[in-house]
Amino acid sequence: MLLLVLSIAGCERGVHDMYDQPHYRPGDASPLFADGAATRPPAEGTVAHGGGTLAQTSSGRRGRLTPERPPAVTEALLRRGRERYGIHCAPCHGLAGDGDGIVVQRGFPSPPSYHTGRLRDATDQHLYDVITQGYGVMHPYRERIGPQDRWAIVAYVRALQGSRHMPMDKLDDHDKTMLDHAGASP
């Protein structure tokens, strides 16, 4: 009986060692290779699963290269951005971008409002990178939302932000009149 207990204990230690092995993280140095890096380059001829080229994003994470410039903001782009925003973003961020979407109302952590100064001052590239890579509890959408649709969502988020934070001198006379009437109504 004692021999059986000792042999089982020895197996347990061996199994535990398999799960608790020393390992390298990406970017770690290693004396095992001539170049001193633990991360090995892919074998020649390797094709990435998703295709494309990897590069550092503005958030410091690795991700796909984005187009050099976002597309021009057009009415069609904003319509597409609104549609994609409603599908992918509104459940958490809410229709108006306040961070009060339906899943938040059911207990999910609230994302920040797009109307905070920090997010109004964020670059378009930052917003694009967050959609691509995720942030905090937000999962990445790189596989769900294509690059052009990400830019469309960024344009729509900027429109949402502008809807509340437009300087008066940027409005035309018709819009100023509409605001005056809205403020005068009870």
DSSP letter, residue 60: S
User: What is the CATH topology of the domain spanning 74-166?
Assistant: Cytochrome Bc1 Complex; Chain D, domain 2 (1.10.760)
**pLDDT (tens digit, 9 = 90+) per residue, 90-110?**
999 999 999 999 999 999 999
How long, in residues, is the chain? 186
pLDDT at position 48, please? 65
The helix (H) or strand (E) run that includes residue 64 is strand 62-64
**pLDDT (tens digit, 9 = 90+) per residue, 134-183?**
998 999 999 999 999 999 999 999 999 988 877 777 777 877 787 777 66
| Domains of the chain by residue range | 74-166
Tokens 């197996």 belong to 11
Structural contact between residues 113 and 184, judged by C-beta atoms closer than 8 angstroms: no
**pLDDT (tens digit, 9 = 90+) per residue, 1-58?**
888 776 766 666 666 666 677 778 777 888 888 988 888 888 888 776 654 444 444 4
Long-range residue pairs from 119-124, CB within 8 A, at least 24 positions apart, any chain: 119/161, 120/161, 120/165, 123/58, 124/70, 124/151, 124/154, 124/158
pLDDT at position 51, please? 43
